[in-house]
């Protein structure tokens, strides 16, 4: 069997000073890479992600105009819904809910909103009238009521009219009942006044039938 010779190369170990220099160079490079990475992260944190706020100074004129419109709309919407909630009082169901739009600065701005109001009609007409009046005031509380606000106010006005009719009917029924009661009382009194005197008169007439006539002379009373 023929064996081929194998050549093995053994590296010559570097001297001690060379090893020290190599370690220093590696350490310096590692620190430099670390500093560079930290610097990139710092720049990213300053710039922010696309979802974070963007400095107004970096906005274009069109973006600044859009931002102003969104800010104004946000104020109007929040003021509008606050007026609804304040006027609705205990009939407001929870707080206001808003629809948001992201502005060019990365912030969220309210562009729409609503306040839920309990519009159920109580059975008692007096309570229904009070509730309908409050709902009507709540619907028209903002300076510029929306079409939906006017529709709610119209429904409240209808509830007010129905409650007033019910109250009027209730009062009329009470008045008629009282009148009937008073009439029955008067009839009872008249019956008693007309019935009681008849008995003595009848008895007196019966007694008179059994005794002779007596002539009664007139008597003058002198005072």
Question: How far apart, in Å, are the Cα atoms of 195 and each of 20, 199, 204, 205?
Answer: 141, 7, 15, 16
Residues in the chain: 223
Write out pLDDT tens, residues 121-177. Answer: 999 999 999 999 999 999 999 999 999 999 999 999 999 999 999 999 999 999 988
pTM assigned to the model? 0.57
Give tens-digit pLDDT for 8-36: 333 444 444 544 454 455 455 444 444 44
CB 116 within 8 A of CB 94: yes
Domain residue extents for the chain: 59-118, 119-188
Give 52-97 pLDDT, tens digit per residue.
456 677 899 999 999 999 999 999 999 999 999 999 999 999 999 9
Six token digits for residue 133: 């009046």
Rounded Cα distance, 196 and 190, in Å: 10
| φ and ψ of 60, to 5 deg | -75, 170
């Amino acid at each position: 069997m023929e064996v081929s010779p194998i050549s093995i190369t053994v590296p010559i170990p570097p001297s001690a000073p060379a090893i020290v220099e190599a370690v220093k160079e590696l350490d310096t490079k590692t620190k430099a890479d670390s500093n560079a990475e930290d610097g990139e992260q710092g720049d990213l944190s300053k710039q922010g992600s696309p979802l974070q706020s963007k400095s107004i100074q970096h906005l274009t004129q069109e973006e600044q105009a859009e931002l102003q419109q969104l800010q104004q709309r946000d104020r109007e919407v929040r003021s509008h819904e606050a007026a609804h909630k304040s006027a609705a009082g205990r009939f407001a169901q929870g707080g206001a809910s808003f629809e948001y739009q992201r502005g060019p600065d990365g912030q969220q701005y309210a562009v729409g909103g609503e306040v839920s109001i309990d519009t159920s009609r109580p059975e008692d007409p007096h309570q229904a009238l009070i509730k309908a009046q409050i709902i009507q005031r709540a619907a028209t509380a903002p300076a510029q009521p929306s079409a939906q606000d006017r529709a709610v106010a119209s429904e409240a006005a209808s509830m007010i009219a129905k409650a007033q009719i019910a109250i009027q009917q209730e009062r009329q029924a009470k008045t008629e009942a009282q009148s009937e009661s008073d009439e029955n009382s008067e009839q009872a009194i008249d019956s008693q006044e007309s019935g009681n005197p008849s008995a003595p008169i009848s008895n007196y007439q019966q007694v008179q039938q059994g005794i002779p006539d007596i002539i009664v002379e007139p008597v003058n009373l002198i005072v």
